[in-house]
Structure 1
Amino acid sequence: MSDRTERLIDIFIHSFMPLLQAGVKFTVPLTLISFALGLIVAFITALARLSSLKPLSWIAWFYVWIIRGTPLLVQLFIIFYGLPSLGVTLTPFPAAVIGFTLSVGAYGSEIIRAAIGSIPAGQWEAAYSLGMTRGQALRRIILPQATTVSLPPLFNSFISLIKDTSLAATITVTELFQKGQQITAAVYEPLLLYIEVALIYLLFSTVLSGLQSWLERRYGRHNVRAGGRIS
């Protein structure tokens, strides 16, 4: 075995734990917090889009239009580097959370809105015939079915988000990708380090894909047992 090969193996082994720790300490929490907050924003935005109150619907549409129509990287730069000119200064992690939350909220709202819209109108009519209000029908009948419909695309968004968090490196969040950049600058082996970073992202994505499959099977069985009946 050549000296260079031994050096590469040594770098790979010794850099793995620092990279994994950066992923667990920053990438995973950033993903979980942003996605949880983003789902709340997405749900509220979806209901606003479906609202009969036109001003509310227009505001929600405008938010979705802006976020979906501009790059996430530009949004992060506006929040972290642009807002200080208005007197609003944020540390890197909260700035990243805000940026990713707004992104998840916009894209997730369209998923939730489409899922609610996919429920047959007869479900609403049947609920009304039982004396339910619109809110009761939404909560008891429509949302449980819409949850099953929206689960796969929402989880796909979650998996995409954990990879998109690499953009947080551009606003100095010391997550997995930036940690890889720091180690690369020290050992001058970019190909090896970036491949290692990619493998750790792949590990996270694979675990989440397995969790997604389990949740889809569980909710699928639950939906079959429920039989889509109004009770």
Structure 2
Amino acid sequence: MREIIFDTETTGFDPKTGDRMVEIGCIEMFNRMPTGQTFHAYFNPERSMPAGAEAIHGLSDAFLADKPRFSERCAELLEFIADSPLVAHNASFDFGFLDAELALCGLDPVCRSRMIDTVALAKVRHPGAKLSLDALCTRYGIDRSHRTKHGALLDAELLAQVYVELCGGRQIGLELVEDSETVTVTSRTRIVRERPFRAPRPHTASAEELARHAAFLAQAVEAPLWSA
């Protein structure tokens, strides 16, 4: 199954008040394994960058001034994500900005049925624990020492590792064959395997096998101990 892990950086918290997306990073995974294929882009937000936002991701007005607008790379992004499920941390935030940018291009929003929120997964797996990306990296022993500031592609790479752990770790890939007819997806976070009924195998010897065994014993030079 193909999935896209993605993250965004923005000018603020709410696209409804004029905030814009300035960076997106996407990681392609197949059967929960990174394929090496990525999509990464910076965007000129056509507005100034607030100091608070710049302190988080380090993207300044000067840096973004010569970057393309979202509309200029929108088609390339949509081609990359295709119709795959989209995994993000606090996904409603990233989906909100992605949908806002698509709306400015006159395009429909991304269907919410494609959204997988790792915060929601973490709440189920670790109730009451800290759920930030940093906290989950620490919990799972994922190295984030190179993360001095937020970055969309870097955070997507870290999130891909976290997502695998939230889904059960690397052992999820040990099954060599999966019968699709016996797998029922009951939710995005739970899979129930319905195994077909198999009658118990007989473990007693047949009459023919008993006869062959007796013939073999009759050829023995000495009678077996258990026949005494």
> Could you tell me the TM-score, scaled by structure 1's length?
0.23
> Could you tell me the TM-score, scaled by structure 2's length?
0.23
Tell which has more relative contact order, 1 or 2 (C-alpha 8 A, sep 6+).
1
> Which one has a larger percent strand, Structure 1 or Structure 2?
2
> Which one has a larger percent helix, Structure 1 or Structure 2?
1
